[in-house]
Amino acid sequence: MYVKQISVFIENTPGRLAHFTKLLGDNNIDLVSLSVADTTHFGILRGIVADYEKAVKLISENGYTVKLTDVLAVSVPDHPGGLAEVLETLSGHDIVVEYLYSFVRNAGDHALIIFRVDKLDEAEKVLTEAGVRLLSQDEVRGL
Amino acid sequence: MEQVYWNPTMETMPREQLRALQNERLRDVVRRVYEHVPFYRNKMQQLGITPNDIHGVEELHLLPFTEKQDLRNNYPFGLFAVPQSEIVRIHASSGTTGKPSVAGYTSGDVDRWAELMARAMYCANVGKSDIVQVAYGYGLFTGGLGAHYGAERVGASVIPMSGGNTVRQLMLMEDFGSTALCCTPSYALNLADAMEREGITLDRIRLKSGIFGAEPWTEDMRRRIEEKMGIDALNVYGLSEVMGPGVAMECMAKNGMHIWEDHFLPEVIGPDGKSLPYGEQGDLTFTTLTKHGMPLIRYRTHDLCTLTDEPCPCGRTHVRMGRVMGRTDDMLIIRGVNVFPSQIEHALLQVPGIEPHYHIVVDRVGTLDTIEVQVELSPSVMSDTVRDLETLERKIVNSLASHALIHASVKLCQPGTLPRSEGKAVRVTDRRHLQ
Ligand SMILES: [Zn+2]
């Protein structure tokens, strides 16, 4: 059960990020989850949107390079040690987490966290077996 | 198409006969400029020659060169050889600094230009039943109108799109069923990329030929365009001072462009100012034989290339010019090493997934020249991790070091952000001159 993440190349020049987020805003595309990784030259904006097909079309038509990546949207119990348990489950199976970031909003007593891992199928399997809930694309659309 | 050549008599004329025609036309043009253009009369008088000294191509080396600066000095109409009332069209080049260089055409010139572009259309198997989409800019720039008149001359249906508006170009290409495309190679590649982006597959378009020119490009780029668009991509050459597109055109042999020698007398000039034999690389130089509005004698294009008179499989007898390897005035000297943008392009294309959309910035930090190569990031190599993109940057740096022998820094850029002018990619910014 994967969800689609958009990754957008943003040059590190003043105003680019603002320009991009305005583009989404003007077209009523809400980033329900977002992280920016940057170097001195460029940044990669990663995020989850309700309607990724619409977002990709809009973004590429406006001259940005965009890529879709499958990631896991994990519902983590919102108490001390909740995230550690999930990470231990993954590392116990030699699954490397490339990066993770949380959703803007919580779902009740659970935090929603995006995991980008190297072995996607295996990660899904071990987390499900450990009783961790993963969100589907449809659930993300409803957020 | 039944007919292979637009003008079989001229295009396949035996070389001795062609030479006799050139001799006759050279005598005529020398007389015309001597009588009507003070600039040429003065130059010839300074050299102590008159039209009577020029019997034919043998004496070409006696005649003075014409430099772009001479065009500027005689701006705007000083080199016209007919009264202004005889001029029916004026074009001008896109000078990046100061005044443009101007060219004037009589109605006969416009007619001959259409004839030469018609030959070019036939070289690309484009004829009466074709639909030609002209995506060169229309205006002062010669590309648009040049291709337009040639396509009309062969009886094709012409779509005068002009440049830009990529989405609309693709819509009409699909809806109208364009079979030929005329534009700059960098714009053709933009269109090909946009096709991929829009999900337009090759079965939805009818394009078969591309006539691309107005900027230098490489064999790698030809292969890419041909694969992405499913066409034969052919090289056309011209410059507004000499005429516009159609001075030379590649045939389906794709092995050099035939220079229409019944109208232009080409030479390749070495660093010492002497005409070089076929096969040697130098500065391409033209004498216009039939232009009446603004004839030019031994005009130095500063495009570096070679000429060959070896027989071509297509049967045309006119000499072929190789690809323009760079411009003698565009050549970058970086830390004492000669670098041409085409070498950098070649190096970039060795990295899988990299498109030849690039811009070179040369600067000087202290006494040291620095070079930054900015490369547009295509969707096929985009990644969600910083590590992957940094690896890509390193691959490009290594390829530049091994294929172009330069140590450059590399900057990835968003598509479409690198500078373009009239659809032509602007390849180099040299900040050293600004300091
Ligand atoms: Zn040929």
Output the pLDDT for position B95: 55
CA proximity to B297, closest of B82, B64, B105: B64
Banded pLDDT at B332 (limits 50, 70, 90) = confident
Whether the CB of B412 is below 8 Å from some CB of chain A: the reply is: yes
Whether the CB of A118 is below 8 Å from some CB of chain B: the reply is: no
**In the 8-state DSSP scheme, what is residue A103?**
B
* Residue B356 dihedral angles phi and psi, to the nearest 5°: -80, 45
Give the pLDDT mean for B147-156.
98
Banded pLDDT at B283 (limits 50, 70, 90) = very high
Higher pLDDT, B222 or B433: B222
Whether the CB of A63 is below 8 Å from some CB of chain B: the reply is: yes
Banded pLDDT at B435 (limits 50, 70, 90) = very low
pLDDT tens readout for residues A12-39 = 888 888 999 999 999 999 888 889 998 8
Give the pLDDT mean for B312-336.
85
Give the pLDDT mean for A83-92.
93
- Tell me if A63 and B386 make a contact (CB, 8 A cut-off): no
pLDDT tens readout for residues B238-272 = 999 999 999 999 999 999 999 999 999 999 998 88
* Domain map (residue ranges) of chain A: 3-69, 73-123
- β pairing state of B368-376 and B409-413: parallel
Task: Compute the count of residue pairs across chains A and B with CB atoms less than 8 Å apart.
Answer: 56
Superfamily of domain A3-69: VC0802-like (3.30.2130.10)
Chain A residue numbers with beta carbons less than 8 Å from the beta carbon of B386 are 37-39, 44
Least confident of B67-76, B226-235, B329-338, B362-371: B329-338
Alpha-carbon distances of B308 from A107, B149, B217, B238, rounded to whole Å? 74, 29, 19, 18
Output the pLDDT for position B428: 85
Give the pLDDT mean for A125-139.
92
Banded pLDDT at B16 (limits 50, 70, 90) = very high
| CA–CA dist B274, B92 (Å, integer) | 29
Nearest neighbour of A67 by CB, restricted to B383, B414, B415: B383
Write the secondary structure of B171-194 as one string of H (helix), E (strand) and C (coil).
HHHHHHCCCEEEECHHHHHHHHHH
Give the pLDDT mean for B157-161.
97
Domains present along chain B, CATH in parentheses: 1-326 (3.40.50.12780), 332-434 (3.30.300.30)
Model confidence at B97: pLDDT above 60: no
- Pair of tokens at residue B6: 């637009």
Average pLDDT along chain B: 92
- Pair of tokens at residue B296: 């030019």
Chain B residue numbers with beta carbons less than 8 Å from the beta carbon of A66 are 379, 382
pLDDT tens readout for residues B30-84 = 999 999 999 999 999 999 999 999 999 999 999 999 998 899 899 999 999 999 9
Distance B122 CA to ligand 1 centre (A): 11
* Residue A53 dihedral angles phi and psi, to the nearest 5°: -60, -45
Angle (deg, nearest 10), helices B386-403 and B341-349: 130
Tell me which chain A residue has its CA closest to the CA of residue B165: A61
Nearest neighbour of B379 by CB, restricted to A39, A61, A66: A66
Whether the CB of B379 is below 8 Å from some CB of chain A: the reply is: yes
Model confidence at B386: pLDDT above 70: yes
**In the 8-state DSSP scheme, what is residue B227?**
H
Model confidence at B207: pLDDT above 60: yes
Distance B253 CA to ligand 1 centre (A): 6
Chain A residue numbers with beta carbons less than 8 Å from the beta carbon of B393 are 41
The answer regarding whether domain A73-123 maps to CATH 3.30.70.260 reads yes
Asked if residues B308 and B248 have their Cβ atoms less than 8 Å apart, the reply is no
- Tell me if A5 and B384 make a contact (CB, 8 A cut-off): yes
Task: Find where tokens 């109605």 sit.
Answer: B107
Output the pLDDT for position B240: 92
| CA–CA dist A32, A34 (Å, integer) | 7
| CA–CA dist B108, B86 (Å, integer) | 10
Average pLDDT along chain A: 90
Asked if residues B216 and B326 have their Cβ atoms less than 8 Å apart, the reply is yes
Banded pLDDT at B227 (limits 50, 70, 90) = very high
Chain A residue numbers with beta carbons less than 8 Å from the beta carbon of B379 are 60, 65-67
Beta bridge partners of A11: A42
